[in-house]
Structures are given as structure tokens and as C-alpha cells.
Structure 1
Amino acid sequence: MSIKVFYTSVTSSREIKKTQQKIFDILDSKKINYDALDISQEVKVKDLMRELAGDPTALPPQIFNGNNYCGDYKAFDNAIEEESLEKFLKL
């Protein structure tokens, strides 16, 4: 299994850009390997993200371990605060 982060490279939202970058920065700093999947490049990637998240309106970033949904940025941030990132990522 591998960590997948669904994100978008095309957004006018500073909040989305900030949250995505924070996820990448934290995963990089902890040397956790992940695949970054850009939903703005192919509609089927966005559709897959929403299907796996079980939410037809889910917005990036969304985090998965393989096809197992871990959560969105808010859940990721809570896991950082609670020092339970490995549990959150199902590692």
C-alpha cells in the first residue's frame, strides 16, 4: 500500500494551496513516501478521489492509504496535533 494525496495544481483558492503544501511538507519532513495525484489533469482522477472518499463533492486535498480513505486536510491536521499521524495514515 502507498499513501496517495489527491491535490489540484489549478486553483485560485489560497487556502487549498496552503493546505496541500503543508501536507506535502510534513510528509516530506517525516520521510513518508507518497504519490501526488493531480485531479486537475484528468477528470477520472477527480472521480476516483470522490468515489474512494465516498463524497461526490469532496475537494482536494484528500489522503488515502492505497484505496483506504484516511481523511481530508482537517483530519490530517488533527492527527498532527494529536501526534497520531502514523495511525491516521494507517501505517
Structure 2
Amino acid sequence: MSDNSDIKVYYSSASGNLKMDKQQQFIFNVLDGQKILYKRVDVDSREVRESMRHLAGNEAALPPQVFNGDQYCGDYQSFFDKVECSQLMEFLKLKDQH
């Protein structure tokens, strides 16, 4: 298993939005399947949500959002596109860390 514990996925545990729930689950499934360690960060508080938006550089950003430490990787669509192109490690900014 890779030592990628700096990967963070901001998500909503109570979104009430089926599309968002499916997007979050897709990201979790891919990361779990690739045995990439990551931390789930629930945006259940305003403070956490605002922090996610600040780090993403987008005041309207919605979960899921992916980061490597405080470095923004991208949103669901960016994640999905990189998985489809077999560029997940580059997306997660893990390619040059070994």
C-alpha cells in the first residue's frame, strides 16, 4: 500500500443529493481499489466547508473535492477524467514523490 496519507477527499455525509453521493462513492471506490490511503473530511460544519472552498479557490465549490495536503487536485469531473486517461497518480500529485 502506498504511503499517500496526505490525500484528502472533502465530502458531505448528509448531502441529500443523489448525484453528489454517487460522485463521492466513485472517488472512494477508485481510491480504495488502488489501495491509496486517504482521509475523508466531512464538510458538515461551515468552518470546514469554507476551508475547502478557500483551498479550492472557488467560493461556490461543492463536494467532492480532492487535495494532496493543502494542494488542490480537483473536483469530481477532473478526477473522473484522469481515471479514464489512466492519469490518477498525476492528478493526485503523487507521481514524483517516490
Q: Kindly report which structure 2 residues correspond to 1:8-87, keeping only aligned pairs within 5 A, or say none.
A: 8-40=12-44, 42-87=45-90
Tell me the distance in 1 between the aligned counterparts of 2:60 and 2:28.
23
User: Could you tell me the TM-score, scaled by structure 1's length?
Assistant: 0.96
- Whether 1:88 aligns to 2:91 is yes
Alpha-carbon deviation of 1:71? Answer: 0.2
Alpha-carbon deviation of 1:14? Answer: 0.4
The number of aligned residues is 90
Alpha-carbon deviation of 1:21? Answer: 0.4
**Structure 2 residue aligned with 1:7:** 11
User: Could you tell me the TM-score, scaled by structure 2's length?
Assistant: 0.89
Tell me the distance in 2 between the aligned counterparts of 1:66 and 1:44.
17
Give runs of ≥4 in structure 1 deviating > 6 Å.
Answer: none
Structure 2 gap segments, 5+ residues each: none
Tell me the distance in 2 between the aligned counterparts of 1:12 and 1:67.
27
- Percent identical pairs in the alignment equals 47
